[in-house]
Amino acid sequence: MKLNIIKNLKTRILRIPHNSLKIKNLQILKTLLLKNGYSDTLINKLLFKTPNAGLPDCDPNDQDTGEPPTQQRMVYLTLPYMETLTHKLRNILPRDGIKVATRNVKPFKSIFSKVKDKDDL
């Protein structure tokens, strides 16, 4: 149970998006665990030398500038589906940072009739 506590706290810290915050919080966690009687070798093994099941690697010796990484802002756009035009637009727009989602012009409920009879109450 004690080992899982360390692993779960580490996972929560690694879900923080910015690397400088991850490293700082892992160091704080290490200090707290040392004050609570955990051994230094166990803490280092669990916090810094174990794989992070699908989470980004975090090395306490990483030098980070503190600046968040610059990312291209993604814009989402919903367009009606048109057989000849939609595929062409989907190929062009991602280069400009636009992600395209399509929708049906004619929804299913307009195609099918109501099959249930009304109850006479």
Domain ranges of the chain: 2-48, 75-110
- Quickly list DSSP for the chain: -HHHHHHHHHHHHHTSS-HHHHHHHHHHHHHHHHHTT--HHHHHHHHHSS--TTSPP--TT----SPPPP-PPPEEEEEE--TTTHHHHHHHGGGGTEEEEEE-SS-GGGTSPP-SPPP--
* The pLDDT of residue 53: 47
pLDDT in tens, the chain (121 residues): 888 888 888 888 888 767 778 888 888 989 999 998 888 888 888 887 776 644 455 554 554 455 555 556 677 888 888 888 888 877 777 766 777 788 887 777 777 777 777 777 6
This prediction's pTM: 0.43
* The pLDDT of residue 35: 92
